[in-house]
A and B are shown apart, each in its own frame.
Chain A
Amino acid sequence: MDFSITEEQQAFVKSVYSFSKNELAPLMEEYELKGEFCWPAWNKMAEFGMMGLPFPEAYGGANAGVMTTCLGMEALARGGCDAGTCLAWGAHTILCGVPIWLIGTEEQKQKYLTKLTNSEWVGGFGLTEPGAGSDAASVKTTAVKKGDKYILNGTKMFITNGPIGKVFVVIAVTDKSAGHMGISAFLVESSFPGFSIGKELNKMGNRTSTTSELIFEDCEVPKENLLGPEGMGFILVGKTILEYERSCLLAAGLGGMEYCLDLSVKYAKERAQFGKPIAQFQAIQRKIADMKIGIEGSRLALYRVAWMKDNNIPAMLEASVVKLFMSEVGLKVADHGVQIHGGYGYMKEYPVERHYRDAKLGTIGAGTSEVQRMIISKSVLNPKKKGAK
């Protein structure tokens, strides 16, 4: 066993952290209040090289590996880059970029992946529908082949980067009778005829990420934009992104918790009541200890998935473990953070207020906590068919 990270990784963490703290964090409050995508932060992140972290150099990436990508996103969030901006990165790099990288044809990679890594385009991912969330197999959007095109009809819901995305990985049914094996994936550009977006959705948190519906009305997609074999898209995309999603994307959640703890520690040492800093009261110390315990557990669970991915070990169960554990801990950490700040924590000028709202998405997005428990219980339990006596 060895729980260390390399010196190179340590140096990378340090540089991303100070970049985020100095360049990104000061921008966040204003954009978050407005609920607006923070283009200045996005462009700086692109310039810093965050967009293509996991991808091969041939497509403009840094070939960083899953662990280093996780460390980078953790450091970005710990430095103060807000959850919404990190989420936009996740939709762009992980949910859109990773399937193109791992399933796409060489042409698709040249055409789209390079545009994502150099941030010429913003990417997104369309699976969820008004009537299909975690039960992804009940997708209703259809794709019918007509000559050298597929004609897409349907609506996708809660799509991160919807309003700003130029290309989306979209899941649609090509053969209803084939169930899971009849669902395909497509690369859809926002300029394709028949594509439009619904109104931008107003969210509780993660407000610097933009969210909307994607609407397909006889949307014409060239057949070469089919991602993976017809009928296999849903399964392949699911396979490729789930573990990435539950490592690289969650890493920002870990960094967010650390950011919240850092702020709380600082505040507890500065704020005096009854003649001493509140950090000297046991009740405050207990909260800080609980935050720390939860964060350290989350870190191990997260790094384990990243390590497994980097070593080609399947990590479906471990990915659900970290998703569930970290997001539930995340709510507690956010709550403690606000509580330590008292009245100030309820005010918008204190970032823990934002963090509290942001944290709630953790137990909902990318498979609710309930769905994770379904996956975990199915994986660890083997009920007898009829039940013994």
Chain B
Amino acid sequence: MDYKLTKEQEQFQKEFKAFCEAEIAPGAAAVDSAGDFPMENWKKLAARGIQGLMIPKEYGGQGGCLIIGVTAIDALASACGSTAMAVGTSMFCGAKAIEAHATPVVKEKVLKALATGEAICAFAVTEPGCGSDVAAITTTAERKGDSFVINGTKSYLTNAPVADYIVVVAKSGEVDGKPKFSVLLVPKGTPGITIGESYKTMGLRGALAASVKFENCEVPAENLLGAENEGFKIVMDSMDYARLNVAAVSNGISSAAFFAAKKYSENRVAFGKPIALHQDIAFRVADMHVECDVARMQTYQAAWMKKEGMKCSPTIAIAKVAASEAAVANAGRAVTVFAGHGYMQGSAVERIFRDAKLMEAAAGTNDILRGIIAADALRD
């Protein structure tokens, strides 16, 4: 048992936090109001090798484990939720699936580009008519000789407007009346892809999302991840990573809310003393610390289990629910501590409040995840 990060991990965390505070946080409000992909942040992070943090060294990455990945996204999200969501999606949802399931030739090309930050990745499961209910996917991938032809529409794809690669989950067959799925890597510019306009979102406005339409979009069979018709397992595996990413972003948002409330309450004076000395405020901030602290431990435990190859989908679901609900609660508490100031556009906590809300819905709604957690608890 060991509840601490290693010395090297701690050192990384310390330096990267300082970097995020100095280089990313000051621009977070601008990223939000511009509603544009934070390319400048992306490049700064690429210069530090962040996008390649978890990619194996042989493909140009740093070969770090999930613990370090979660640590990085957490720190990044406390500086800028949008940037963290965009970077994390590429690192956790796209790159991980490619690393585990792509052919060596594809890895050589794609993983290397992802590791340096030259390429951005998106992951396409959700459709207009189905989200968590993966079995209801209607997008099809039809085998045609040495290639697959994709038809259908995917929606709410984080990074789609800027992605160089989209990992697409599509129905490729049916066995005994049950749908079978295949996962395909689709490069930008493949004929037949139409990227929709970026959605106007409540929060995380820099983590651009769009719908993507595939019309007779043909990709070579070597772009298949894993085996044909065996994609469901890859989707489930990717969901674990996606949820770890959301948990990490949530923890960063939670921390940002906590530190904003801490700083404000230490300085804001009412009735002759800092409001941090009024019990209602002090205790609220104490609760923020507790929820943030526990959710972060849950996230680390889940990441550790995934890293160790243990059965961990229910534990990851627990971490994601706990972390996202702590983020929403803490963002709300921070606005309450700021009172009127917190309601103003341009205040840090107003943006955090909007950013936090997506965490409960992303990568499987918390309702769906509670179903997974309960099913596990109810299993004989």
Contact = CB atoms under 8 A, between A and B. Distances in A.
B378 A383 contact: no
B285 A384 contact: no
B274 interface: yes
Nearest to A3: B301
A46 interface: no
Given A288-B374, A307-B1, A325-B290, 4 more contacts: A297-B295, A297-B298, A297-B322, A387-B273
Interface of B: 1-6, 67, 262, 265-269, 273-274, 276-277, 282-283, 285-287, 289-290, 293-295, 297-298, 300-301, 304-305, 315, 318, 321-322, 367, 369-371, 373-378
Given A297-B322, A300-B294, A377-B286, A282 B371 contact: yes
Contacts of A387: 267-269, 273-274
B3 A376 contact: no
A268 B6 CA distance: 43
B14 to A, nearest CB: 16
Given A285-B370, A286-B374, A300 B301 contact: yes
B300 to A, nearest CB: 6
Interface string A269-280: 100000000010
Interface of A: 1-5, 67, 261, 265, 268-269, 279, 282, 285-286, 288-293, 296-297, 300-301, 303-304, 307-308, 321, 324-325, 370, 372-374, 376-378, 380-384, 386-389
Contacts of B5: 1
A185 to B, nearest CB: 29
B373 A377 contact: no
B266 A2 contact: no
B4 to A, nearest CB: 7
Given A300-B298, A377-B285, A387-B274, A292 B1 contact: no
**B interface secondary structure, majority:** helix
A10 to B, nearest CB: 12
A289 B370 contact: yes
A4 B310 CA distance: 11
Nearest to A388: B267
Contacts of A301: 293-294, 297
Contacts of A288: 373-374, 377-378
A376 B290 contact: yes
A292 B282 contact: no
B2 A373 contact: no
Contacts of B378: 265, 268-269, 279, 285, 288
Nearest to B270: A387
Contacts of B375: 285
A297 B277 CA distance: 29
B267 A381 contact: no
Nearest to B315: A296
